[in-house]
């Protein structure tokens, strides 16, 4: 997927709790965080009914007068037992059409611990999906008795005085655990929509895929073009209307709960409606500020790749000098480990400063940085592998004056000596910070240009 439109408006991204539920919006504030290049996002995962390439969204019109109301709720309608939440659809419709109270049913489901969430929030909503003034029923139930949990989202459409079920089955998952994040008009067409998360949980972290469900041509459609699927520990915030009446929403991804994931840099994906296709695309993807040294280093590498060499130099200097940054793992595992890890990152940052200065056409400063690398990371010291790689680089650059040739020599060194700069056979490599962070390759240590 590529973004099909420019930013509609300025957006904000707030760090939210895991699996948060959308609330009515307030005016967005400026976003002070770091943009991420989005050159190769993952393809979308949609419904069984795939969104069309171009789906026009109808203009907002006055809602028609309801043709009939679904039955009121007399007190003597018995509440069906939710013994099997996966196959509860027929019993739900029969109960509603007999005049049963959905609120009493949800209360019982909460007591029986079969709601998707511990309370109604995120499990029950009454949207008007078809815009006829009659509320539908959206109920998310789950069976938690044995892993993996199974669930289902039941959508009961109110038509001419009675309810009928709307089939909903996400692709590749016939028993999804679903959370309802928003149930109001997101598209600006005077019909309510459902923003849902389809959840799967591993040993320590829960992930969600997202759908934006709308009612079009007598069936459900998914308007969301995902930047990626299986987002770890996401939260949702919905913001005010844009000029075309649609809303922006932000998915804030908080990361992995396991130690193996390493420190995670929270990121915010802002979605908005493309006026040409009617689909919701990622308009902005930003990393939130982080106190971890490795994330400052990653920021320097991104700035370098974008050609922002002053910003890259500032980041590398912070990696080397900033005593307030956090190192990973913490000293509770090994009191000497954070200090060693800091020196390893400092060595890499010192090497990258050489590249920055050469890109800025400042070979004199590059030579000063080279000597600084050699002096601070001698043989046997943490980060000494980067000193050796720097020597190979500098010798080639001094001989040829060709930055690409020097980087090629450094890449060859890294490929031949991975235990010194990348992945030792035991323990953590100098740039290894868990599967929640980028993995380095020889080409990434010293990138060449065409």
Q: Which helix H or strand E contains 200, and what residues bound it?
A: strand 193-201
Residue 230 has pLDDT above 70, yes or no: no
Residue 437 falls inside a structural domain: yes
The mean pLDDT of 355-376, rounded to a whole number, is 98
Question: Does 371 lie in the same domain as 256?
Answer: no
Q: Among the three residues 271, 287, 303, which one is the final residue of a domain in this structure?
A: 287
Residue 52 falls inside a structural domain: no
Domain that holds residue 85: 75-287
- Total number of domains in the chain: 2
Question: Does 175 lie in the same domain as 120?
Answer: yes
Question: Does 298 lie in the same domain as 229?
Answer: no
Residue 246 falls inside a structural domain: yes
Residue 207 falls inside a structural domain: yes
Question: Does 151 lie in the same domain as 102?
Answer: yes
Question: Does 375 lie in the same domain as 418?
Answer: yes
User: CATH number for the domain including 355?
Assistant: 1.25.40
Residue 42 has pLDDT above 70, yes or no: no
Q: Among the three residues 287, 302, 335, which one is the final residue of a domain in this structure?
A: 287
Query: What SS3 state is found at 248?
Result: strand
The count of other CB atoms within 10 Å of the CB of residue 281 is 22
CA distance 412 to 396: 12
pLDDT band at residue 254 using 50, 70 and 90 as cut-offs: confident
Residue 48 falls inside a structural domain: no
Amino acid 39: pLDDT: 30
Query: pTM for the complete prediction?
Result: 0.74
Is the pLDDT higher at 428 or at 433? Answer: 433
**DSSP class per residue in 258-326:** SGGG-S---EEEEEEE-TTT--EEEEEEEEPP--BHHHHHHHHHHHHHTT-HHHHHHHHHHHHH-TTSB
pLDDT band at residue 159 using 50, 70 and 90 as cut-offs: confident
Q: Is residue 46 a contact partner of residue 283, using CB atoms and an 8 Å limit?
A: no
Q: Among the three residues 236, 258, 287, which one is the final residue of a domain in this structure?
A: 287
Question: Does 332 lie in the same domain as 234?
Answer: no
CA distance 309 to 302: 10
The count of other CB atoms within 10 Å of the CB of residue 108 is 14
Helix axes 337-359, 384-400, angle to 10 degrees: 10
- Please list the alpha-helical segments (H only) found in 99-140: 102-111
Amino acid 22: pLDDT: 44
Residue 21 falls inside a structural domain: no
pLDDT band at residue 376 using 50, 70 and 90 as cut-offs: very high
Question: Does 240 lie in the same domain as 123?
Answer: yes
Condensed to tens digits (0 to 9), the pLDDT of residues 315-361 reads 999 999 999 999 998 877 678 888 999 999 999 999 999 999 999 99
Question: Does 305 lie in the same domain as 208?
Answer: no
Residue 377 has pLDDT above 90, yes or no: yes
């Amino acid at each position: 997927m590529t973004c099909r439109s420019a930013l509609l408006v300025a957006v904000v991204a707030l760090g939210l709790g895991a699996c948060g539920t959308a609330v009515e919006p307030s005016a967005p504030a400026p976003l002070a965080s770091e943009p991420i290049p989005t050159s190769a996002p993952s393809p979308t995962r949609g419904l069984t009914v795939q969104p069309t390439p171009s789906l026009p969204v109808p203009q907002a019109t006055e809602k028609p007068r309801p043709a009939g109301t679904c039955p009121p709720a007399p007190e003597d309608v018995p509440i069906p037992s939710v013994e099997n939440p996966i196959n509860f659809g027929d019993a739900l419709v029969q109960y509603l059409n007999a005049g049963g109270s959905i609120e009493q049913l949800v209360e019982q489901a909460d007591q029986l611990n079969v709601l998707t969430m511990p309370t109604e929030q995120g499990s029950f909503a009454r949207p008007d999906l078809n815009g006829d003034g009659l509320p539908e029923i959206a109920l998310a139930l789950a069976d938690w008795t044995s892993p993996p949990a199974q669930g289902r989202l039941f959508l009961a459409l109110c038509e001419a005085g009675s309810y009928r079920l709307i089939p909903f089955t996400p692709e590749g998952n016939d028993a999804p655990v679903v959370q309802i994040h928003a149930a109001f008009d997101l598209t600006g067409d005077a019909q309510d929509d459902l923003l849902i998360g389809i959840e799967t949980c591993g040993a320590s972290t829960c992930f969600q895929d997202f759908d934006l469900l709308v009612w079009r041509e007598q069936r459900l459609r998914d308007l969301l073009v995902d930047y990626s699927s299986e987002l770890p520990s996401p939260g949702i915030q919905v913001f005010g209307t844009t000029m075309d009446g649609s809303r922006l929403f932000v998915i804030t991804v908080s990361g992995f709960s396991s130690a193996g994931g390493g420190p995670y840099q929270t990121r915010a994906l802002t979605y908005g409606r493309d006026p040409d296709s009617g689909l919701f695309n990622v308009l902005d993807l930003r990393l939130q500020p982080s106190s971890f040294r490795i994330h400052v280093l990653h920021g320097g590498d991104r700035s370098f790749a974008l050609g922002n060499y002053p910003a890259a130099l500032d980041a590398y200097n912070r990696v080397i000098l900033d005593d307030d940054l956090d190192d990973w793992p913490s000293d509770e595992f090994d009191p000497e480990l954070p200090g060693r890890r800091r020196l390893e990152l400092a060595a890499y940052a010192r090497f990258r400063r050489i590249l920055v200065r050469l890109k800025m056409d400042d070979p004199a400063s590059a030579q000063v940085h080279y000597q600084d690398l050699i002096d601070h990371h001698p043989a046997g010291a943490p980060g000494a592998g980067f000193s050796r790689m720097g020597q190979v680089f500098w010798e080639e650059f001094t001989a040829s004056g060709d930055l690409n040739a020097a980087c090629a020599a450094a890449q060859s060194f890294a490929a031949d000596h991975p235990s010194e700069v990348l992945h030792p056979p035991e323990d953590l490599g100098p740039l290894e910070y868990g599967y929640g962070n980028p993995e380095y390759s020889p080409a990434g240590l010293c990138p060449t240009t065409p």
